[in-house]
Amino acid sequence: MPDQTTPVSPRHDLLALQLSNLISQQSFDIHFQPLVDVNRAGILGYEALTRGPADSSLHSPLVLFDVAARQGRLVELERLVVRKALRRFRELALPGQIFLNLTADTLLAAEGRVEQIAHEFAELDMPPSRIVIELTETRPILEPERLSASLEGLRALGFVVALDDLGEGFASLKRWMDIRPDFVKIDRHFIDGIAQEPLKQQFVRSILEMAASSGCTVIAEGLEQNGDLSVLRELGVPVCQGYLLARPTATPRATLRAEISSLLRDGSTARSLLNLPAGAITQAAQLSQRGHTVSGRIDCQSVVEMFTSDEQLYSLPVLDADNRPIGILRSLQVLKRSAERFFMDIHRKHSCTVLMDPQPLLFDVSTSLRAMSETIANLDDRLMVDGFIVTKNGQYFGSGRTSDLLKAVSDLQVHSARYANPLTLLPGNVPIDNQLDSLLAEGRPFVVAMWDIDNFKPFNDSYGYRAGDEMIKFTAATLTQAADAELDFVGHIGGDDFLMVLGSANWQERLQDVCNAFDAGVRGFFTEEHLMRGGYTTLNRQNQPTFNPLPTFSAGVVTVRGDGCFENSQALSAALIEPKRVAKSRSGGSRYFVDRRGPEAVEQPLPAAA
């Protein structure tokens, strides 16, 4: 608040009046933007975002909360926002958690009010475990010890804590260590353009390592480009948020758009093709070679002579004293400029940096082939011949040719197409057998489930092969979404037969997720009449009418202990036949049956009819 001797401008008075009206009328809107679990292609939760009236000077949340802070009404405003956001979240029946942005001011004001806060949230009928308190760093934290005590009190009620905008504002690694949040959100500055910024990639790697040690989940904010998404997935970032996935809106979807789900599933499918041919190129390091480089101390005359004397020299990386790339010299550009009138007369002895492009195409050694191909897809054709620079820890590692990159991408696509099912693009029989044989050879324990759609043929005959193909693709998506992209494997044996290899500790929960999702989604393939009847009638091979129930999904499951009980994938496949038969013989909804024969194998409780 200004003191009595400070003149108050008319604009300041107007903003104060608008703020008072906004608070008294609660005339602000709540928008929601989803946070996406990129591995499971699902929504983790939503961040609640505040918007002032469209015709007001307070429409921007930055202006709104800044004015509230200067008027001493920040805590009052944030409490109103929380209540309205929670009510709207419940009205929309949105899934997952809700992320609420709060400043240290409001959190400090909550100190000593734990019982009152618990009562307030009980009235809103919102479990604290679904509420993520996102500490924003828009204002300095002057009493960190009191803040930590306040957060601990809220945590005791079951609330979850997130640290916002790591790397921006007043945020610091010390705050992370003091608060020990459940989530940490990386500021958009380090996410936007990460596909072409090795230093940003290294920063994110460091954050992921710290997060793994402290047991918190990393969220990448500001995702807007496909190439950045690919790099973030390769680095292991589990949750992303940004315009590429979904924009903030007052009425958000409860599920991802179909094209986004497909984009994320394609990424998971690509990563599940673990068995690549020997010598397959998968990273930038394999495409790089040590070549000629120059330092910024080399003059223009020397560089021109290098390109003039060697017709096969297309580009030269320029390195600083620490061996870090600062630009690239391109043959066509250098020779063209050197031929300009008076250029050499003026710049002959000047540093070659006046001729270089200061923004070369850079890849870290660990950049995936997929991320590299997406990056060069948008390049100017004139730059394709110059290739790219590969770095390690920010230092020059080597140079690569674009032609080699394109060939490697083509080879990988041919291999994937050869062994992937053409309809679902999931791994086919060859990679399935390779995956099983590899796990058996390593002696690792895992669970394998062989799935089959019950009553699929009558559906295919009655609704047509196109509808049948769509059901097959729906089934593949259901399995992929239930699997952990890092620990599990999904394959398509052929037709309506699929196989899952699960390394997840919660494999039983994932199998039940498949059953539930299939039973819910399969209803969308049928007419209202058939849904009401619970099936439909077709003619059998004897030309007699036969009633067919709606398709279900059933699986035979075998737990593999890793003690050599199965010699190879063929033996394991044979062992799956009996539990699959048992599962298919049972009625009711989708179900699975776990083989009892192994000493550690138990039958999972099934739906009522199973």
Q: What is the mean pLDDT of each run of 10 residues along the chain (610 residues)?
A: 48 80 89 90 92 85 87 89 92 92 85 73 77 81 79 83 72 74 90 86 87 83 88 88 93 87 63 45 76 89 90 87 90 91 92 90 81 69 70 86 78 66 85 85 88 93 89 93 86 94 91 95 92 88 87 95 83 92 91 71 36
CA neighbor of 135 nearest in space, from 96, 170, 88: 170
Report the distance separating Cα 219 and Cα 236, nearest Å. Answer: 11
Q: How many residues does the chain have?
A: 610
Beta bridge pairs of residue 448: 501, 558
Homologous superfamily of domain range 422-594: Reverse transcriptase/Diguanylate cyclase domain (3.30.70.270)
Predicted pLDDT of residue 41: 83
Domain 10-272 in this protein, CATH class: alpha beta
Report the distance separating Cα 17 and Cα 57, nearest Å. Answer: 11
Within 8 A by CB and 6+ apart from 1, the residues are 70, 71, 72
Predicted pLDDT of residue 610: 35
Within 8 A by CB and 6+ apart from 236, the residues are 208, 486
pTM (predicted TM-score): 0.47
Beta bridge pairs of residue 460: none
Report the distance separating Cα 581 and Cα 589, nearest Å. Answer: 15
Q: Output DSSP code: residue 605.
A: P
For residue 455, CA distances in Å to 459, 472, 493, 584 come to: 7, 13, 18, 10
Angle of helix 61-70 versus helix 10-25 axis, rounded to 10: 100
Report the distance separating Cα 338 and Cα 355, nearest Å. Answer: 9
CA neighbor of 551 nearest in space, from 467, 458, 424, 470: 458
Q: Which amino acid is at 90?
A: R
Domain ranges of the chain: 10-272, 284-409, 422-594
Place of tokens 């480009």: 225
| CA torsion, ordered 77, 82, 85, 87, to nearest 10 deg | -120
Fold of 284-409: CBS-domain (3.10.580)
For residue 159, CA distances in Å to 125, 481, 593 come to: 14, 27, 38
Predicted pLDDT of residue 609: 32
Predicted pLDDT of residue 265: 67
Within 8 A by CB and 6+ apart from 142, the residues are 104
Report the distance separating Cα 189 and Cα 483, nearest Å. Answer: 31
Angle of helix 465-482 versus helix 258-272 axis, rounded to 10: 70
Work out the widest C-alpha separation in the chain, in whole angstroms: 99
Own/partner long-range contacts of 122-125 (Cβ < 8 Å, ≥24 apart): 124/83, 124/86, 124/87, 124/90, 125/90
